[in-house]
Amino acid sequence: MNESGGTAPRLSWLAAPADRIARVAPGRWLGFMLLALHAAVVLDADAAVTRGFLLAHYGLFLLWQPLVRSEARIEPRLALPVFAMAALLVLVDSTWVMALWLAILAGLVGAVAASQNARAARLAYLLALAYVLALLLAWVLPQTLDSGALPVELQATVRYGLPLLPLAVLFLPATRRGSASSTLDFVYGLMLSLLVIVMALGVFAVVAVAQVSYAWALVQTLLGMAALLLALAWLWNPRAGFAGLGQVTSRYLLSVGLPFESWAQRLATLAERERDPESFVRDALADLHELDWIRGGHWQAARGDGSFGGPAAHRVDHTFHGLALTWYSTRPLTPALALHVRLLSQLLGYFYAAKVREQTLREQAYSQAIHDTGARLTHDVKNILQSMKTLLAAVDVSAPEDSERLLALMKRQLPQLAARLSQTVDKLKQPSEMDVAHLSAQAWWTALQVRYEHDDVSFLADAVDDTPLPQDLFDSVADNLLTNALRKRQAEPGVKVAVRLTLHPLVSLEVSDSGAPAPDHVARNLFLSPVASDFGLGVGLYQAARQAARAGFRLELPENGAGRVVFRLQARDCSPSP
């Protein structure tokens, strides 16, 4: 208990300074770091004092560095190069080591400066970059080349003028860094460090070969690098009718190790040929044998899985649109190859999702076709049953003296009912042949009058000839409309029902009644979706409207008022407009 009680105060005593250090803005550490570097490099002091300033400079660098977050735990394998760099910088008294360190520092400062959005923070890092480059070019590099004693004016400027830049960095407004990854552009920093190193080596080469002064060698090197950068900038995007280095680099990153366009074309061809999603993925992955840097892989989807090639030491996992992909490689993938694998995985995921949606739509279309066929045939059977109930009602109310008339009615109606029932069964066997049979208008009109001759329905027609009518459509629509009208008569006695057939100029069939109108919310959706019904599924007119549209007709409700409700089935006018 005593030991634990003594440890807690010590930990709390250490936590307070650590918390205060973590709250310091990186710009402050940057200013102190540059001042310590200036004292170690420029001031003439003993070796022990110089090493002390270098050690302080490196410690401040660790507090400022943008590579690792301050709250992250450093692993031993990462701490080893940190201590090795510190030992090299502090213990080795060499101007070349200092020049290399300044080049690395310039790259890090420039990388952070390139990703700053705040104006003050960007100015601070630009001033720091200017200080590092000035210290390298005006002090360290001349000593490295043994170019003799520096001019007194230059020495005074470096010793007493350059510290103004770190002091400005120290007092400029600074903000805390959110994360290391968001404030560091590795490519920009690497390019800047390489440019500084190339410039230093170029100056050394010019001095060694041409035996000129350091200042003239520096001018020649800067002019040569400027010309080289200008040429590279023009070659990156020449705008002269041919692709530049930028497009070539992008194409290389996208197609490294594989002709990307040809594989994408084969993938699209396979997508058109293969309908099953899992078979498509299996065949597409089997086509990747040209990738020598991919040893094999494994894929898993909702309906199956599989593998290709063989396992290896390194693996990369990606999941897109329900398709999980695992890639095996003999060596760790470079960033370009990792991007390439991710792009391949995304393409496969998108194509797989499209195949799954296509299969789902096919299944839904098949189910919808079954539903439509069943609904239509159900209403046909209901209409046949309604006609049979009408005949049975006529038998129940008939007197013995009506036997001959009743027998004649049965002889006329039963064959028609049997034919309609047989036709319905044939439709159930071969639904694809629905709406194919046609019947002359004269024969259809006579059969309709016979079916409803005892229901007090008025039949009106101008001149009925042999114009062919789609029998299934007209039977279905007429039976649905007349059944609904006669059912309305049962609820509202005295309702008059009439049917009118018109063949010219357009074929139309109207069924009207003198009952109450349909409610507005029902009339709006009557032909667009199923509606609530107390006598069936509520899809009779909806299915009839869809059947009419497929046959080139339209079913509508032109009048819906009290005492006048009219439904019309009319052919569409396909004549060209003048």
pLDDT reading at 529 higher than 80: no
Q: How far is CA 236 from CA 185, 224, 229, 339, 366, in A?
A: 20, 18, 10, 22, 55
Flag the least confident range among 251-265, 301-315, 316-330, 509-523.
251-265
pTM tops 0.75, yes or no: no
The pLDDT of 523-538, averaged and rounded, is 64
Beta bridge partners of 305: 300
pLDDT of residue 566: 92
* More confident call, 320 vs 379: 320
Flag the least confident range among 16-20, 144-148, 261-265, 568-572.
16-20
CB 569 within 8 A of CB 502: no
Predicted confidence band of residue 363 (pLDDT cuts 50, 70, 90): confident
CB 266 within 8 A of CB 285: no
pLDDT digit string, tens, across residues 401-429: 767 776 776 776 677 677 767 766 666 65
Rounded to 5 degrees, what angle do the CA atoms 400, 404, 409 make? 115
pLDDT reading at 577 higher than 50: no
CB 116 within 8 A of CB 176: no
Q: Which two tokens stand for residue 146?
A: 């043994």
Beta strands in 407-552 (DSSP E): 438-440, 457-461, 468-470, 497-502, 508-513
Chain CA centroid to CA 13, Å: 51
The pLDDT of 325-346, averaged and rounded, is 82
Q: β-strand 553-561 against 564-571: which pairing, if any?
A: antiparallel
pLDDT digit string, tens, across residues 447-501: 888 878 778 889 998 888 888 998 888 888 888 888 888 888 888 888 899 999 9
pLDDT of residue 483: 83
Flag the least confident range among 136-150, 374-388, 432-446.
374-388
pLDDT reading at 169 higher than 70: yes
438-578 maps to CATH 3.40.50.460:
no
Beta bridge partners of 316: 327
pLDDT reading at 148 higher than 90: no
Q: Cα separation of 367 and 226, whole Å?
A: 70
Q: Cα separation of 281 and 513, whole Å?
A: 60
Q: Cα separation of 68 and 29, whole Å?
A: 15
pLDDT digit string, tens, across residues 351-360: 888 888 888 8
User: What is the DSSP secondary structure assignment for residue 295, as one 8-state letter?
Assistant: -
pLDDT of residue 56: 92
pLDDT digit string, tens, across residues 5-28: 444 444 455 555 656 666 677 778
pLDDT of residue 370: 64
Q: β-strand 296-301 against 304-309: which pairing, if any?
A: antiparallel
Kindly list the domain boundaries of the chain, sorted by start residue: 11-236, 253-360, 438-578
Q: Which two tokens stand for residue 12?
A: 């709390």
The pLDDT of 52-73, averaged and rounded, is 80
CB 542 within 8 A of CB 529: yes
The pLDDT of 144-173, averaged and rounded, is 84
pLDDT of residue 183: 47
pLDDT reading at 518 higher than 70: yes
pLDDT digit string, tens, across residues 241-277: 566 677 777 666 666 555 566 677 778 888 888 888 8
